[in-house]
Amino acid sequence: LMTLVLPVREALADEALKPGAMAKDFTLSDITGKPVKLSQYRGKVVLLNFWATWCRPCRVEMPSIEKLYNAYKEKDFVILAVSVDRKGKSDVSEFLKKNGYTFPILLDSDNTLSEDYQVPYIPATFLIDRHGQIISRDYGARNWASDAFRVKIDELLSKK
């Protein structure tokens, strides 16, 4: 009986964060130790990205996230890149310095948030609209600065 219960529970849990669901609110510390709450960005479009310094596909997509951040930081668009590095700040700070990334980084070294968001592997990215609704979730590296993705963001920004 146990084997039947678990997949059903996982399937139900998975329903919670599909596109169309509301993003779960959370509070994590940023790289400077300041608490950041997802709900403080209500009214803005949010790209929530889970990553780690040791993850090769994550490192591949980072330059496109930086490019997107620079293109949209003056608009109602926020990038929250959540590091799941176990050592937390020390590893991440060094990595950011070395690569010159300037987008906001949050620390989830105990994986609490990635468990809440049922992230099976990284990179995992959730696009959240102004009302806190999940628009898409993607697993694996992407070119976040692509024209197609910018069209999607512009479309979300055009909606009030």
Catalytic-role residue among 55, 78, 96, 122: 55
75 is an active site residue = no
Tokens read off for 8: 């059903």
Q: Note if 84 is an active site residue.
A: no
CA torsion sign for 146, 31, 36, 85 is positive
The residue from 58, 78, 119, 124 that is catalytic is 58
CA–CA separation, 28 and 59 (whole Å): 22
Contact 85, 53 (CB under 8 A): yes
Distance CA(83)–CA(2), nearest Å, equals: 33
Give the catalytic positions in this structure.
55, 58
